[in-house]
Copies of this chain bind each other. A is one copy, B any other.
Amino acid sequence: MIAVIKPGTTDEQMEPLISWLEKQELRVHISKGEYQTVIGLIGDTSKVDLEMIQSLDIVESATRVSEPYKACSRTFHPEDTVIQVGENGPKIGGGHFAIIAGPCSVETPEQISYVAQRVKDGGAHLLRGGAFKPRTSPYDFQGHGQKGIEMLLTAKAATGLPIVTELMDIRNIPLFEDVDVIQIGARNTQNYDLLKEVGKMNKPVLLKRGLAGTLKELLMSAEYIMANGNENVILCERGIRTYESTYTRNTLDLSAVPVLKKLSHLPVIVDPSHATGHSDLVSSMALAAVAAGADGLMIEVHNDPKHAWSDGPQSITPDVFDDIASKIRKIREVIKGC
């Protein structure tokens, strides 16, 4: 941690700060410049409150030099984390690429089973489908809840695809016992009580970046889960909110992929469907995500997008999915060969 002292501060005025810092078992280095004095703190500064230092009269600014996350940091864990879904299921990360596909909402047993079979045939590794849906309007379809999970489990039994579905309410955790991967949605990325609870579960968590979340916030939210014991976190870029919302719902931030992989050992996947909000943009953004180095994709596929109960405009058909999946494999080969 570095603190820049205000011009004109005397040694006497600095003394109480210095001695307090030294009591925290930190070594203190003082650099006196012509115009400014800078204090550097050496040792474990994670318990020193940056804001407290910043609020001192004699301090002009203070900055933390090291990042505030640890469990998810690549510095302390240089190897890629490989996440194993279920006992014999797919792996994600460390060279293992996974495609998660399925409808936005689970609608009917026929719909989810049909889509599950089609995406499996197309090359998907996991099945997605919303049972509990976060909708902006209280008057919109809120998902089938428990029945939706049952429909997903039936589709899983038929196809063998492990399932991913969103958890919004701590009280519903018992319903997720047979779910393979817990999804935390963009509106709950900073619902810390929820993060703490999934941190106590022993199954992978797919953590979406917040609607306008920074990469650091995403990593800190992963840290909440990991600090509670669950190290199986998959990070998901799903587009961020910007001023450009005429032609795309969000702005897909693909540079998040190499940045997150540089900062953290956790796998990073991309959701081109929510990011763009338009089915005709899904293919190009899916391929771009693969070329950017993503460890997986989450794609919304619906048997009949025009009649989807939610997010129809961004859903692709199983036929289009087949096409995208085969292109993904080709790009993956180029990337791996690179």
Chain A interfacial positions (CB closer than 8 Å to B): 2, 4, 27, 29, 31-36, 38, 40-43, 46, 49, 51-52, 54-57, 61, 63, 65-66, 68-69, 134-139, 168-171, 187-188, 190-193, 196, 210-212, 214-217, 220, 223-224, 227-228, 240-248, 251-255, 257-259, 262-263, 275-276, 280-281, 284-285, 287-293, 305-313, 315, 327, 330-331, 334-335, 337-338
Contact = CB atoms under 8 A, between A and B. Distances in A.
Given A36-B66, A168-B191, A242-B253, 19 more contacts: A4-B65, A29-B31, A29-B38, A36-B65, A52-B307, A52-B312, A55-B306, A55-B313, A136-B190, A136-B217, A187-B190, A210-B211, A216-B246, A240-B244, A243-B245, A251-B255, A255-B284, A285-B292, A331-B334
Given A2-B38, A55-B306, A308-B52, A248 B243 contact: no
30 contacts: A2-B2, A4-B65, A27-B33, A29-B33, A31-B40, A33-B41, A38-B40, A51-B308, A52-B307, A54-B312, A54-B313, A55-B312, A68-B137, A134-B192, A135-B192, A138-B192, A138-B228, A188-B191, A191-B191, A240-B243, A242-B251, A248-B259, A252-B254, A254-B254, A255-B284, A255-B285, A287-B291, A330-B338, A331-B331, A331-B334
Dominant SS at the A interface? mixed
Given A242-B251, A246-B216, A51 B313 contact: yes
Given A46-B139, A190-B134, A262-B280, A212 B212 contact: yes
A261 to B, nearest CB: 9
B192 A212 contact: no
Contacts of A253: 242, 244, 251-252
B338 A334 contact: no
Most buried by B among A192, A211, A311: A192
Most buried by B among A220, A246, A288: A288
Contacts of A305: 55
Most buried by B among A212, A240, A263, A308: A212
